[in-house]
Structure 1
Amino acid sequence: MPLPFLTADRALDDETGGAPDDSAYEDLNRWRRPYRPGPWRVGGAALLLLLASYILFSAMIIAMAGSLPAAGICVAVAALVIVFAVRVVHSGVQVSAHGLRQVGVFTSTTVAWPRIAALRTAQQPVRWLGLPRTVQGQAVIAEPADGGATRTLISSHSADFLARPEGFDMAADALESWAAAYHR
C-alpha cells in the first residue's frame, strides 16, 4: 500500500530543491511536502507502532481468555495509537499552488500565498524536538501580509531536521522558492 506522505516527491530530490517551475510537476495544485520526514519523526512513529503491536497481542491473549469486552477496548486503544503514529509521520509543512499548509498532530493551518508577505530564514531560539526547551538554531518564518504574528514553519532542531543541517537548508530553499513563485 503506497503511503505518499512518507516521502517527498522525486522531483524534490534534484538540484533545484523542488522549485515549483520544475517540469516534473504535472499537478501543482496537489499538496506535497517539500522535504522528507526526519529520522526522529519516523523513529517515534515506529516506536508507537511497536507499542500498538504489543497492545494488539495483549488483546488477542485477553480474547482467548474469554473477556471479549476487554479485548475490544485493547483493539480500540491500539487503533488510536496507530492513527496517532500516522499523524506524527504526516505532520509537517506542505505546499501547493494554493498556499502553505502546516499540518500538526491534532490541527492543520492553511494560508493562501497572497496572505503571506514573506518567507525568510532567521537565526533565533527554537524549540528542541518540539519540547519547551529552546536552543539557538535556524527557523523558516512566515510573515503574514496583514501584519499579524509571525509563524515558525520549520526549524533546524525539529524532529525532521535535528542533526541534518543540509536537509534543513534544502527544505528552506524549497519553501522560499515556492513562496517566490506564487507570491502575488
Structure 2
Amino acid sequence: MPLPFLTADRAFDAPGEDLALPFDDRDQWRRPYRPGPWRVAAAALLLLLASYVLFATVIISVAGNPSGGAVCLGIAAAVIASALRLLRMGAWVSAHGLRAVRFLSTRTTPWGQVREVRTVQQPVRWLGLPRTVQGQALVLVRADRAGDGPAALVTTHNADFLGRPEAFDRAADSVEVWADEYRHHA
C-alpha cells in the first residue's frame, strides 16, 4: 500500500542537483523532504503500542466484556490516528500555497499572502520540547500579518532534521525555490 505522505522528491536527494521544480502535477500537496528518523521512530513506537492495545482488545472481547473491548478499540484508534498525524507534520507545498502541518492544526497560506520564506539563525525548540537551543529555522513571513513575527515552518532541531543539517539545507532550499517560483505568479 503506497503511503503518499512518506514519499519525498528524489530530485532533492542528491547534493548539487538543480533545484528546479521537477513535479508534473504541481497542484498536488507534497512535502519536499523525507520525514526524519526521529519522526518515523516515534510513529513506529506508537504503532507498536497500538498493536498491543488491539491485542488486548481481542482478549478483553473474547473474555466476555464487550464494553471494555470497545474502550480499548477506541484507544487503539486514537493511537493509530496520532501516529499518522505525526508522520504528516511538516511543511507542504503546492501551486496553491504553503501549508504548515502541526500535530493539532494545519495552516495554509496562499502564495499571494507570502511575503518571504527565508532561513534564519534563532533559538529553536529541541524536538518540539520547551528546551531551546541555537539553530536554524525556515520561517514564513506573511504579508497580511505584518504585526506578527515570522512563523517557523521547520528547524534544524525538529524530528525531521535533528542531526541532519545537510537535509535541512536541501529542504529549506527547495521550499524557498517553491516560494520564489509561485510568489511572483500569485
**1:100 is paired with a residue of what secondary structure?**
strand
2:30 maps to 1:32:
yes
**2:28 is paired with a residue of what secondary structure?**
coil
**Residue in 1 aligned with 2:157?**
157
The whole-number CA distance in structure 1 between the counterparts of 2:98 and 2:64 is 51
**Residue in 2 aligned with 1:10?**
10
> Normalized against structure 1, the TM-score is what?
0.94
Q: Give the alignment's Cα RMSD to 1 decimal.
A: 1.2
**Residue in 2 aligned with 1:138?**
136
Q: What amino acid is aligned across from residue 99 of structure 1 in structure 2? A: G
Structure 2: 5+ residue runs without aligned partners? none
Instruction: List aligned pairs for 1:74-153, cutoff 5 A.
Output: 74-146=72-144, 147-149=146-148, 150-153=150-153
> Normalized against structure 2, the TM-score is what?
0.93
Shift of 1:170: 0.3
**1:135 is paired with a residue of what secondary structure?**
strand
**2:107 is paired with a residue of what secondary structure?**
strand
The whole-number CA distance in structure 2 between the counterparts of 1:178 and 1:57 is 45
Shift of 1:6: 0.9
What is the percent sequence identity of the aligned residues? 56
Q: What amino acid is aligned across from residue 32 of structure 1 in structure 2? A: R
Which aligned runs of 4 or more in structure 1 are off by greater than 4 angstroms? none
Structure 1: 5+ residue runs without aligned partners? none
Shift of 1:16: 2.7
**1:44 is paired with a residue of what secondary structure?**
helix
